[in-house]
Amino acid sequence: MLKTLVEKEIREIIGSPKFTYTFIVCLVLILLSFYSGAVSYKDNVTHWEAAKAENLQSFEGIKEWYRVQENRIFLPPQPLATLVSGVSNDIGRTSNIEPSGEVTADDSRYNEEPAYAYFRFIDLEFIFLVVLALFAIMLGYDAICGEKEKGTLKLCLSNAIPRTKFLMGKFIGAFSVLSISLIISIGLGCLLLPLLGVHLSSEEWIRLGLIVVAGLLYFGLFLAMSVMVSSFTQRTATSFLILLIIWISSTLILPRVAVMVSGRAVDVPTVDELGYQKAMYATEQWKSFLNSLDNYTPIENEDMEEVMANFNKFMDSISIAREERMNIYRSRLNEQRYNKELERSQIAFALARISPSSSLSLASSTLAGTSPELKDQFYQQAKNYQTSLKEFLNEKTGMNMGGGFIMTISESDAPEKDPIDPTEIPQFKFEPESLSKSVQKALPDFGLLILFNCIFIAGAFVSFNRYDAR
């Protein structure tokens, strides 16, 4: 019986023009997203490699290690970011790392190409969030009330079929058709990737597979919701209107409202406010540093090297103390801001998860490695890199790099020094989050998507069992 109902549903959907249009649009959009994603990824890799080479070139000709005041590091392009861009285009991708001082990232893609920021990319996540949800609505809005309007519901229910089975047939049929179409489209898209020179690792394939599973859960959820709404409305127009309102609220309004509410709930000082406080403190410290210099009395010695060594030792002592105070102050301010920001984000994400669209976004971006945490991961790894760079330069120079003044003596008759070898500078290697950790983080959102599915399926059964099928 269920098989008959599912077969009929599949046959009816496949035979309808709306499925043909839906499938074509779905296929074109998915192929387009894979194509543009792959091309964009290759461009990003080219730019990333060129930027790294250019950075190394900037050290050419330098003969003293203490002249290496900074090194530029770059967030490598992630292949999956081309399919689920998440925040990857919003956050800074490069950072000038100095041996001391604050680590900041800049040069976000949207900063460089504002047109993209305005219209955004068509990626797989966008297709799932907007297009797929709309297709689910188109397939499900008339599942029950449409049968009633057509006049076939009464005839179907005049047979000995339980209503739950009838509904299940509708749901399974529609879900099978759309998910098979989706898998075919994504499968073709996946074939495009190696053809365009993008090779995913086995771990990235697993991540992509899980993203597709999240997309299917999201699609199932909207389908179940559409069937539920069609089970308590008598007219297809009413059902479609209700679902459109839910779709707009879910994808466009609720996540934004959540961010607005959290912004009101927790006041986070701006980067400029913090910058001002840090600058004030730095000025204060600098004055104190200069005052300390007044207390320095050079030793009386004819050996200039000893004089220099004594001066550098003194400089180290006061600069290290100043640097420590600055670091403590900056860390405290940054931590306070970070905690506030975290609190605000947690409120925003908790509220946004009322909308399944947010759960899908968070799950897929976590799996693609482009979740909002990418910014923290890059920042943290850049901080770690700063420490290793400082240690390296201190070792090379024998001085506390980035502390204060460095006094050198150049002797005209000194032998010509060889240029430094820039490849000796520690390389920055970004380590993406491990798969198991990403899956662990995405699990709550998968749970929510499954929960929403169960709620809407149960809702559909309850309302259809009470549905006036006359």
Partner 1 sequence: MNENNKQVILEAVNLTKKYDDGVLALDNLNFAIYENEIFAMLGGNGAGKTTTINIFLNLLEPTSGDAKVCGVSSHIEPLVVKKNLAYVSENVMLYPNFTALQNLDFFSQLGGQDSLTKDHYQEVLIRVGLAEQVHNNKLKGFSKGMRQKCGIAIAILKDTKAILFDEPTSGLDPKAGYEFIQLLNDLKGEGKAVLMSTHDIFRAKEAADTIAIMNDGKFLMKEKASTLFDKDLESLYMQYMAGHAPQPASEGV
Which residue(s) pair with 106 in the sheet? 94
* Buried residues in 187-213 as b, exposed as e (16+ CB within 10 A): eebbeebeeeebebeeebeebbebbbe
- Of 27-35, 50-58, 160-168, 441-449, which part binds partner 1 (CB under 8 A)? 160-168
Give the footprint of partner 1 on residues 12-41 (CB under 8 A). Answer: 12, 15-16
Q: Which stretch binds partner 1 (CB under 8 A): 7-15, 24-32, 281-289, 334-342?
A: 7-15
Report the DSSP beta bridge partners of residue 182.
none
> CA-CA distance, 409 to 403, in Å (whole number)?
19
Q: Does 258 bind partner 1 (CB under 8 A)?
A: no
Q: Which one of residues 24, 50, 155, 350 is an interface residue with partner 1 (CB under 8 A)?
A: 155
Which H or E run contains 95?
strand 94-97
Round to whole Å and give the CA distance between 334 and 206: 36
Contact window for partner 1 (CB under 8 A) among 11-19, 171-179, 208-216, 426-434: 11-19
CB 170, min distance to partner 1, A: 13
164 binds partner 1 (CB under 8 A): no
- The radius of gyration computed from the CA coordinates of the chain, to the nearest angstrom, equals 30
Task: Report in angstroms how near the CB of residue 111 gets to partner 1 at its nearest.
Answer: 52
Report the distance separating Cα 374 and Cα 386, nearest Å. 18
Instruction: Pick between residue 1 and residue 188 the one whose CB is nearest to partner 1.
Output: 1
Please list, in sequence order, all residues whose beta carbon lies within 8 angstroms of the beta carbon of residue 466, skipping any fewer than 6 positions away.
none
The answer to the question of residue 90 lying near partner 1 (CB under 8 A) is no
SS3 123: coil
2 touches partner 1 (CB under 8 A): no
Tokens of 466: 């009470």
Q: Does 1 contact partner 1 by CB under 8 A?
A: yes
Alpha-carbon gap, residue 107 to 48, rounded angstroms: 12
**Contacts with partner 1, 110-149, as mask; x by CB under 8 A:** ----------------------------------------
Tokens representing residue 375 in the block: 């910014």
In the bound state with partner 1, the residue whose beta carbon lies nearer, of 452 and 461, is 461
Helix H or strand E segment including 73: strand 71-74
Burial (Cβ within 10 Å: 0-12, 13-18, ≥19) of residue 156 = middle
Interface residue with partner 1 among 32, 53, 162, 197 (CB under 8 A) is 162
Q: Which is nearer to partner 1, 8 or 340 (CB)?
A: 8
Per CB under 8 A, the list member of 199, 417, 429, 470 interacting with partner 1 is 470
Q: Give the nearer residue to partner 1 in terms of CB position, either 1 or 32.
A: 1
Does the footprint of partner 1 cover residue 235 (CB under 8 A)? Answer: no
Question: In the set 63, 67, 154, 466, which binds partner 1 (CB under 8 A)?
Answer: 154
Among residues 134, 157, 308, 321, the one that binds partner 1 under rule CB under 8 A = 157
CA–CA distances in Å: residue 148 to residues 132, 235, 462, 467: 26, 8, 17, 10
Report the residue number, 6 or 97, with the smaller CB distance to partner 1.
6
Binding footprint of partner 1 on the chain (CB under 8 A): 1, 4-5, 8, 11-12, 15-16, 150-152, 154-162, 468-470
